Amino acid sequence: MKLSRKVWQSSVYKRLIIAFIIATIPIYILAGILYSWASNLLRQDIMDSAETQSENYLRELNDTISRFNSLQYDMLNDNYLNKLVNTYDILEPYRRIELIHFLRSKLVSMRNSSELIVDTRLYLPGIKVEISAVDGYGYLKDEDVPVAKLHDPYNVISYNNKLLIVAYPLESEFDTIPNIIIEMELRPSEIQRGFQAALKKDYSGALILGLGTNAENMYIINDEKLEEPIRKHYGRSLPSKQATVRQPPAKLDQTYIFTHSSLMDSSLYVDHYLYKPTMFKTISEYYKWFWLFFCMTILMVALYLYYINKIINKPMVKLVRAFKRIEEGNLELNIRHDKEDEFGYIYERFNEMLINLKISIDEVYNQRIHLQNAELKQLQSQINPHFLYNCLFSIIRLIKMEKDDEAVNFTNQLAKYFQFITRNSRDTVPLENEVAHARNYVMLQLARFSDRVSVEFEELPASLKPYSVPRLIIQPLVENAFVHGLENVLEGGILRVTFVDVPEHERLVIVVEDNGENSEEGLERLSALVMDEQNKQITQEITGILNVHKRLRYKYGPESGIKVGRSALGGVKIELIINPKAVTADVSNANRG
């Protein structure tokens, strides 16, 4: 599991995805910034265009009103008008009529100069004369020229539902009413038509034209829900002559964009309420295209990653899993790749490598088996000449002492000993036979040590007798005890052989211990040699123990072998540990094959 987690954490595909995401995120961020910048720029252009059109219309309207003011001013300075006013009482009647008709003709010319003018009227309060371009002339009544008309000269005012421009000499001295008053009545419908034609757009929610501080506003309202709040708002607080910016009704801020346009030194202004959904309809189309592009790129990225996963990641994972199965010991693999690409080449080389690996393992395994057999043969051929001499001298002594039966028995035991160690038919034997051979060896040694060594050889439990073990694994340990532990003991020597079955650990322990005079230094040296199997400085006496240790490890695994320690008897304690469930090779079968 640790390997799998490590492989995933360092996965090339995972790092490829992360690198791809890191590379694409700035692109999407930049695209979003550019889109936002372009949208804001387009919005600002639309608003600037609306404000520019409003300002152009206001300039045109202001120029028209200024032209009307110029006509009025010219009329006020007309010589015939001043002559009529100043010499009215001394003029002949026909001359008065002549001047009145002349002035009326000028008023008609003024009226005909623009479609915006309904009528042009001249009031002469001093001589009680009223001249109209439409109605002619007549007697002027005092109520025809109220003071309310005179509060805002030369500007548009509202009076009795009429739009008027009233002019009179500003430098003249009068108590209440000037001697000369020129009045232009404007046509509201024509102003409304021009206003609508110049400024109304598809995205116009409402248009408000302010004509002056004393004139009623003109409204073009396309959205019914704006009717009440706008009329209420503008009816409550008309802008002053100096006002340049008006705030829209608060509840309309989120739905409409408000623009205010006005001119310096003029009371004219235009308020435009731009309906956002219609105004930014083009931007909304771009917005849809942007998100379509975004989704398409995400889809393309997903398809790209899927394709990369299919052609790179999956073959890579398959190869990694194959290596993991090899680590677990499964060499029966044959991975395939359908395409003739780099992975196809790698898979083919992997399969060839696996075949070569199995061949190499078989060769090494067979070499190890043959090495075990050679070591076993070497151990079998290592007959200690001193042991043989001692046995022969013991037979001679028994014969001289005329102990014929004992001599025969001893000779039979010696024959069984040589028969066991020289037999090559099988390299493994039942544990019962191996123990019997070790016991026979002990009996042969007791011919020399019986007067100074006692033997405690435990009976082998019946459950352990069928166990198959390598030959000659107990006798070398017993021999080591006699040669190195008990050789110089004069009396009271003890040799103990016991058997311990540990079912919970699935292992068998054979203990050989003595109370010989082994030094601590010798014990440590023996233990170190067992731990260091490759040590070249090994005496012939210890070769047998090390040979047993290596053969047990070869057959039963690294948990089996020889363990050396201090015995409770005072001498050396050698534990022979066997794990029967962990058999790695059957030497005899391998040898015969």
Q: What CATH number is attached to the domain comprising 579?
A: 3.30.565.10
Tracing tokens 């009371």 back to the chain, one arrives at 267
Please tell me the distance from the alpha carbon of residue 64 to that of residue 114, in angstroms, as a whole number. Answer: 9
What is the token pair recorded at 470? Answer: 């390598």
Q: Average pLDDT, stretch 9-35? A: 76
Sheet with 136-139, edge to edge strand ranges: 136-139, 129-132, 117-124, 181-186, 162-167, 156-159
111 and 135 Cβ atoms separated by less than 8 Å: no
Sheet with 218-221, edge to edge strand ranges: 218-221, 204-210, 269-275, 256-262
* Residue 240 in this model has a pLDDT that exceeds 70: no
* Residue 121 in this model has a pLDDT that exceeds 90: yes
* Domain total of the chain: 2
Element (H, E) at 63: helix 12-76
What pLDDT score does 584 carry?
A: 53
346 and 322 Cβ atoms separated by less than 8 Å: no
Digit-coded pLDDT (tens) for 398-414: 788 888 788 888 888 88
pTM, rounded to two decimals: 0.49
For residues 66 and 37, which has the higher predicted lDDT (pLDDT)? 66
- The 3-state DSSP class for residue 180 equals coil
What pLDDT score does 362 carry?
A: 79
Which residue, of 248, 263, 279, is where some domain finishes? 279
- Domain assignment present for residue 569? The answer is yes
Q: Average pLDDT, stretch 148-169? A: 89
Sheet with 572-578, edge to edge strand ranges: 453-457, 493-502, 507-514, 572-578, 561-566
583 and 415 Cβ atoms separated by less than 8 Å: no
Which residue, of 258, 279, 300, is where some domain finishes? 279
- Domain assignment present for residue 556? The answer is yes
- Domain assignment present for residue 104? The answer is no
Of 34-48, 150-164, 212-226, 364-378, the one with minimum mean pLDDT is 364-378
Digit-coded pLDDT (tens) for 349-372: 888 888 888 888 877 777 766 666
- Domain assignment present for residue 4? The answer is no
Q: Please, which residues have CB within 8 angstroms of residue 266's CB and are 6 or more apart in sequence? A: 58, 62
Q: Average pLDDT, stretch 343-354? A: 84
* Residue 111 in this model has a pLDDT that exceeds 80: yes
Residue 435 — very low, low, confident or very high, per pLDDT cuts 50/70/90? Answer: very high
Most confident region among 223-227, 377-381, 415-419, 453-457 by mean pLDDT? 453-457
What pLDDT score does 590 carry?
A: 35
- Domain assignment present for residue 568? The answer is yes
* Residue 239 in this model has a pLDDT that exceeds 60: no
Which residue, of 255, 279, 303, is where some domain finishes? 279
What is the token pair recorded at 200? Answer: 């109304």
Please tell me the distance from the alpha carbon of residue 185 to that of residue 182, in angstroms, as a whole number. Answer: 10
Residue 88 — very low, low, confident or very high, per pLDDT cuts 50/70/90? Answer: confident
Please, is 64 exposed, middle or buried when counting C-beta atoms within 10 Å of its C-beta (0-12, 13-18, 19+)? Answer: middle
Range of the domain at 481: 422-592
Q: Average pLDDT, stretch 166-188? A: 82
Q: Please, which residues have CB within 8 angstroms of residue 442's CB and are 6 or more apart in sequence? A: 455, 457, 478, 495, 497
- Domain assignment present for residue 558? The answer is yes
- The 3-state DSSP class for residue 7 equals helix
- Domain assignment present for residue 158? The answer is no
Of 113-122, 213-222, 540-549, the one with minimum mean pLDDT is 540-549
* Residue 86 in this model has a pLDDT that exceeds 70: yes
Please tell me the distance from the alpha carbon of residue 266 to that of residue 254, in angstroms, as a whole number. Answer: 30
Instruction: Kindly report the backbone phi and psi dihedral angles of residue 460, in degrees, each rounded to the nearest multiple of 5, phi listed first.
Output: -75, 125
Of 95-109, 250-264, 437-451, the one with minimum mean pLDDT is 250-264
What pLDDT score does 505 carry?
A: 62
For residues 232 and 499, which has the higher predicted lDDT (pLDDT)? 499
* Residue 131 in this model has a pLDDT that exceeds 90: yes
